[in-house]
Amino acid sequence: MKPSQPLPPAGQAEVRIVAATPEVARMIAEALRSRFAATEQRSYPAGGEGATRLHLTVDTTHTAEPPRSWLVTSRSSGSDRIQADEI
């Protein structure tokens, strides 16, 4: 049987999520991202009543990066410069 669309590269999966609300679709996408490296999701309407369809590519050969704490993500990069009005 011939696929109607080209297959993704080995180790990757194209995931389609259809949900009644955007919030539910995003929750499922986040759960996948917590386990696997993934591309940014693409969102499309899925019929009436606010349904949403999300597409993302999951890389099963790489696990997701561990979540960083708010302290790490809020630290200055060192390249921050003092602005003229802060002197």
**Beta-bridge partner residues of 63:** 36
Which whole number is the average pLDDT over 21-27?
90
Domain spans of the chain?
22-59
Mean pLDDT over all residues of the chain? 79
Which whole number is the average pLDDT over 37-61?
87
Cα 26 from chain centroid (whole Å): 9
With 70 as the cut, is the pLDDT of residue 82 above it? no
pLDDT of residue 53: 92
